Structure 1
Amino acid sequence: MKTKIIQITSGRGPAECCWVVAQVLKHFIADLKHNNINYKIIQREKGTENLTLQSVTIQLQAESLDRFLSQWIGTIQWVGVSAFRPQHKRKNWFIAMYLINQDQEFKINDNDIIYQATKSSGPGGQHVNKVSSAIRAIHIPTKTQVLVMDSRSQHQNKKIAKIRLHEKINQMQLDQLKSNTKNQWENHLNIERGNPIQIFKGSDFKKNTILKTFKKQRNTLKKELRNELNN
């Protein structure tokens, strides 16, 4: 299962671009569902106007993502009249979708988890389990740990501890990612105003069929296919 992080951003564009981000997000999520790709929105930056987004960061998981993302990564154009400034002469608005490099990704290997049995404890006077049924699970690479004493069964507590440790490490990963992507101004500043990968039109935000061929992307897909056949 591959994991990738993408960011849809308006750059430092006006409210119209932030509105486009929100609309593109709807279409993108619909496409993810259609292709059975798991996703989780991990960061949102609201725009200045209601129902607009300056940027949104999404985690994707699937067996293969390259071919799907080749249809989305790049500049996205909307052609339409601004709802915020109807008299504005500008009719072309640009946002972008980027692939975010992950500096660190925790791989949770069960061999990296150690379990320690310990006696359960509770408030003074409360009946507690006098045997070593509580379980402390420790993930050695990250030094993350959890203590579970939910059950009188050591075996059951171990199962619960493993689940909670995985959840805790996954949450740490997401928190770190949120921190890293919150101020990714390099993406916000470098939106290419031409050669859009997707074009939408009108207030109903209908997708426009792009007739131009994307030679670079086609060659990349051919190269990937050749590599797969040679392996």
Structure 2
Amino acid sequence: MRTDKKHNNASAIWLQITAGQGPKECGWVVARVTELLLTEATDLKIKAEVIESVAFDKLLRNQDLIQPLEYLSVLIRLEGANALSLSNDWTGTIRWHGLSPYRPKHKRINWFVGVHRVNVDNSTSESIDKLKTEVQFSACKSSGAGGQHVNKTDSAVRLVHRKSGIQLRVDADRSQHRNKAIALERLQILLNEQNHQSKSESVRNRWLKHYEVDRGNPTRRFQGEDFNEV
């Protein structure tokens, strides 16, 4: 039986990694944390997909040719038996101790990023089956630097929710079927946020996550150019 039909699984966890109001160095740390988290997920046989990413440099946003080296935020979806445990290991503040890769003479040597859980209250969420009747899908080319195979197929999907006007683009997987399922799940999360507050407040609060990085009591600590954990 194909496992990609079971996307809206209760074991799915969404994490947002954010540089907060930190400088470009923190954006670099977000990229390193993303790489490590995805590697750990693979080792634990957890399905991990980057659903959204915002480049730190504004000029690198809304383009597909250059892979950013720093991110303002990254949204990751985890699914599997160990997804909750992995998310608990990462949720909180991450500290990197090292010299700036951009400003070697900078006196600061501690850089902080945040990892936040994106929660969904399923008791009030719109059902996926209902949402399927309220959206329109269209296929589009998948994005990705370097001419990867994923760029050559119409596997990405664009979702438009007619009732709310929300539009989403998902190219996390080479399977269009999976991307549609993930888009519906993402829509479910956004609509759930709006059920608790107005749309403007929902968007505002989501982006405020970029500025909420607690520098006390880091969950995990790393140091040096090789980003070794201590």
* TM-score using structure 2 length: 0.60
Which residue of 2 is the match for residue 47 of structure 1? 56
Alignment of 1:112-191 (within 5 A): 139-140=129-130, 142-144=132-134, 168=180, 170-174=182-186, 184-191=206-213
Which residue of 1 is the match for residue 76 of structure 2? 58
Separation in 2, partners of 1:67, 1:82 = 31
Q: 1:84 to 1:37 in 2, by over 3 A?
A: same
Q: Answer whether contact 2:19 2:114 (CA < 8 A) is retained.
A: yes
Larger Rg: 1
Please say if 1:99 is aligned against 2:108.
Answer: no
Which residue of 1 is the match for residue 169 of structure 2? none
Q: Percent identity among equivalent residues?
A: 31
CA deviation vs aligned residue, 1:96-137 (integer Å, no higher than 9, x gap) = 1010123665655xxxxxxxxxxxxxxxxxxxxxxxxxxxxx
Separation in 2, partners of 1:45, 1:144 = 27
Which residue of 1 is the match for residue 156 of structure 2? none
Helix, strand or coil at the partner of 2:89: coil
Q: Answer whether contact 2:13 2:84 (CA < 8 A) is retained.
A: no
Which residue of 2 is the match for residue 135 of structure 1? none
Q: Answer whether contact 1:43 1:178 (CA < 8 A) is retained.
A: no
Helix, strand or coil at the partner of 1:71: helix
Aligned residues, how many? 162
Letter aligned with residue 95 of structure 2: Q
Which residue of 2 is the match for residue 23 of structure 1? 32
Letter aligned with residue 85 of structure 1: R
Which residue of 2 is the match for residue 159 of structure 1? none
Q: Answer whether contact 1:145 1:165 (CA < 8 A) is retained.
A: no
Please say if 1:86 is aligned against 2:104.
Answer: yes
Which residue of 2 is the match for residue 11 of structure 1? 20
* TM-score using structure 1 length: 0.60
Q: Answer whether contact 2:47 2:79 (CA < 8 A) is retained.
A: yes
Structure of higher RCO (CA pairs closer than 8 Å, 6+ residues apart): 2
Q: Deviation of residue 177 (structure 1)?
A: 5.2
Letter aligned with residue 83 of structure 1: P
Letter aligned with residue 133 of structure 2: K
Helix, strand or coil at the partner of 1:102: coil
Q: Answer whether contact 2:72 2:210 (CA < 8 A) is retained.
A: no
Q: Deviation of residue 31 (structure 1)?
A: 0.4
Separation in 2, partners of 1:99, 1:89 = 32
Q: Mind listing any 5+ residue stretches in structure 2 that lack a counterpart?
A: 1-8, 61-67, 137-175, 194-201
Q: Mind listing any 5+ residue stretches in structure 1 that lack a counterpart?
A: 109-138, 147-163, 209-231
